[in-house]
Amino acid sequence: MDLSCLKTLGIDQTNSGAYAGKWRKTKGEAMAVRSPIDGSTLATVNLADAADYAEVSRGSLAAFRRWRELPAPKRGEYVRLMGERFRQHKEALGRLVTLETGKILPEGLGEVQECIDIADFAVGLSRQLYGLTIASERRYHSMRETWHPLGPVGIVTAFNFPIAVWAWNAMLALVCGDGLIWKPSLKTPLTAIAMTKIAAEVLGGEWQALAGLVIGPDSTVGSALLDDPNVPLVSATGSTRMGRIVGPRVAQRFGRTLLELGGNNAMVVMDDADLDLAVRAIVFGAVGTAGQRCTTTRRLLVHYAIYEQLLGQLAAAYKQCKIGNPLEKNVLVGPLVDEAAAKAFDHAVRSAVEQGGKVVCGGGRAKVPGPLRGGAYVQPTIIRCDEMLPIVREETFAPILYVIPVESVDEAIALNNDVPQGLSSAIFTNNVRSAEQFMAAGGSDCGIANVNIGTSGAEIGGAFGGEKETGGGRESGSDSWKAYMRRQTSTVNWGNELPLSQGIRFGNF
Ligand code: NAD
């Protein structure tokens, strides 16, 4: 495999797992980073320990205390320069994402583009961190609400978006005046090292320590981050299992969390839908990234009148999806991230069949050429179910699509909402009433509800996140920036009396 992108991005054979203004001599386990494509070793990272974490935290806090004094548009200028570097290195970064995650190259490049887009968004935002002026009930008083920097933000990232998730958080946090402490997934540490090198280089001498990075076990550096009183906000992206640990633990010390957890996303297809459009959206949503997106389409709720027709069209479309090396042109399905993910796929298919589902296509491991046998390749799978089987309620991070018949929009909405997760949802219909009902208060209970667009592939301009077991956090566009700042209400008395609010009179005082 061509590994030249590693050199371009300054990744060595052996790398340090902690950055605190300079790379530390980490002494933890030497972890081999393997590519899901073929199981080959890309490089080694010496993991960080709790002492390294303490140094990263100290560095980020000290830099934050000065960074918060810098006017926000000046902070935005640093982010603008970062965006330029991401553009310069788009090709190399995109290849590295593919090497480390196994997603196909166009999606790897798309992820870098997402990072460029959020940098651009953050630059504009650096001049728009608006507060409010509020009418005071007291004469000769003025009242205002301002937003101030928060502190070093802990950023815990999932393996499947190793660049974008950090960038969504980091670009906003930096313009908001915060420091960063990044704890990436141990499955994708090289992308984190590459991105930190770029950010630290742009920040330069005085500010380098703002871009803290710590790569190590959850039990040591992960725990240290969750318990760190100097970290007012932990933004954590990953499984609901992880969120169940992180949420209460950070709350214990009255820290804030921003949780972006698992999804179990449904697409409704009504009998008046444009089926060609729907098929394209379903294939991208269910098969893209080998089913390893939080927004992957996992459930299809199809009007019974078009159920068989749509299944037939989908089965034909699935046949055309080439499985193989994600660096190769025309390949649409790369490997799962590791063998454990493939075992979870096997288990889900087995359970679905035991519970009454019928495999329409796929269902097993994919045959791949010899050099790829070190990877975990599975077939994109469609399973027809007469009802919501117990396994359908779980998120299996693999390309399995459960297809369930429905009789009406009401039933489709009820089934859409009948899972513990609440991230993304979509309806395909040409009926404006059905579309509006799906997006109304009594419609989809998800953070994202689309019409004639699939469940995956969000733009950065909107707030991204979900309800229920997805965690309730919102990241990226709109007013998500408010999570990275603290709100202050100030009232000024410019008169020569001291009226109390609510008209209270306190004796002669
Ligand atoms: P994961 O939960 O295994 O790991 C995510 C991150 O959490 C990693 O950095 C991991 O090291 C860390 N972590 C786990 N337990 C921890 C602990 N006890 N203390 C501190 N850190 C801990 O998830 P994954 O397999 O990397 O990613 C897949 C999952 O992420 C899926 O469930 C997917 O839906 C979800 N995801 C959600 C979003 C979203 O925006 N909602 C985006 C991407 C991925």
User: How far apart are the CA of 156 and the centre of ligand 1, in A?
Assistant: 8
Task: Identify which of 227, 236, 61 has the alpha carbon closest to the alpha carbon of residue 149.
Answer: 61
- What atom of ligand 1 comes closest to residue 157's alpha carbon? 9
Does residue 500 lie within any of the structural domains?
Answer: no
Residues that are catalytic: 260, 294
Residue 14 lies in a domain: no
- Residue to mutate (ligand 1; options 160, 241, 460; most atoms within 8 A of CB): 160
The preferred substitution site among 156, 242, 419 for testing ligand 1, maximizing ligand atoms within 8 Å of CB, is 242
91 in any annotated domain: yes
Q: Are residues 172 and 218 in the same domain?
A: yes
What proportions of the chain, in percent to the nearest 5, are helix, strand and coil? 40, 20, 35
Indicate which residue's Cα is closest to atom 20 of ligand 1: 222
Is the domain of 188 the same as that of 227? yes
Residue 19 belongs to a domain? no
At residue 205, the pLDDT reads 86
CATH number of residue 140's parent domain: 3.40.605.10
Residue nearest to atom 9 of ligand 1 (CA): 185
Q: Which atom of ligand 1 is nearest to the CA of 397?
A: 31
Q: Do 135 and 208 lie in a common domain?
A: yes
CA atoms within 13 A on the CB side of 79: 32
CA 456 to ligand 1 centroid distance, Å: 18
Considering the domain architecture, whether residues 250 and 269 belong to the same structural domain is answered as: no
CATH assignment at residue 309: 3.40.309.10
- For the CA of 243, the nearest atom of ligand 1: 2
Q: Judge whether 9 lies within some domain.
A: no
Kindly report the backbone phi and psi dihedral angles of residue 116, in degrees, each rounded to the nearest multiple of 5, phi listed first. -65, -45
Can you tell me which atom of ligand 1 is nearest the CA of 262?
34
**Total structural domains within the chain:** 2
Q: Are 336 and 452 contained in the same domain?
A: yes
Let me know if residue 504 belongs to a domain.
no
Ligand 1: lining residues by beta carbon, under 6 Å: 156-161, 183-185, 218, 222, 226, 237-239, 242, 245-246, 260-263, 294, 395, 397, 423, 470
* Residues near 60 by beta carbon (within 8 Å), at least 6 away in sequence: 20, 152, 179, 180, 181, 209, 210, 212
Instruction: For residue 158, report the distance from its CA to the centre of ligand 1, in Å.
Output: 4
SS3 132: strand
Whole-number pLDDT of residue 78: 98
Probe residue for ligand 1, chosen from 156, 157, 289 as the CB with the greatest number of ligand atoms within 8 Å: 156
Residues 245, 444: Cα–Cα separation, whole Å: 27
Whether residue 246 is found in the same domain as residue 372:
no
Look at ligand 1, atom 14, and give the residue with the nearest C-alpha.
242
Do 284 and 241 share a structural domain? no
User: Does residue 319 share a domain with residue 225?
Assistant: no
C-alpha of residue 351 to centroid of ligand 1, in Å = 24
- Buried b / exposed e over 223-251, threshold 16 CB at 10 Å, is ebbbebeebbbbbbbbbbebbeebbebbe
Q: 257 and 331, same structural domain?
A: no
Residues 438 and 331 in one domain: yes
In one-letter notation, the amino acid at residue 103 is K
Neighbours of 126 (CB within 10 A): 25
Q: Does residue 7 form part of some domain?
A: no
Atom of ligand 1 nearest to the CA of 471: 41
Structure tokens, 501? 């609010």
What residues make up the domain containing 178? 24-261+471-488
Q: How far away, in angstroms, is 185 Cα from ligand 1 center?
A: 7
Mind listing the pLDDT tens digit of every residue in the chain (509 residues)? 899 999 999 999 999 999 999 999 999 999 999 999 999 999 999 999 999 999 999 999 999 999 999 999 999 999 999 999 999 999 999 999 999 999 999 999 999 999 999 999 999 999 999 999 999 999 999 999 999 999 999 999 999 999 999 999 999 999 999 999 999 999 999 999 999 999 999 999 899 999 999 999 999 999 999 999 999 999 999 999 999 999 999 999 999 999 999 999 999 999 999 999 999 999 999 999 999 999 999 999 999 999 999 999 999 999 999 999 999 999 999 999 999 999 999 999 999 999 999 999 999 999 999 999 999 999 999 999 999 999 999 999 999 999 999 999 999 999 999 999 999 999 999 999 999 999 999 999 999 999 999 999 889 999 999 999 999 999 999 999 999 999 999 999 999 999 999 999 999 98
The alpha carbon of 472 and the centre of ligand 1 are apart by a number of angstroms equal to 15
Same domain, 153 and 296: no
466 located within any domain: no
Ligand 1 centroid to residue 157 C-alpha, Å: 6
- Residue located nearest, by CA, to atom 30 of ligand 1: 238
Quickly list H helices, 220-288: 223-227, 240-252, 275-287
Q: Residue 101: CB partners within 8 Å, gap ≥ 6?
A: 36, 108, 159, 160, 162, 187, 188, 292, 337
What per-residue confidence (pLDDT) applies to 457? 86
Which atom of ligand 1 lies at the shortest distance from residue 158's CA?
26
Same domain membership, residue 74 and residue 167? yes
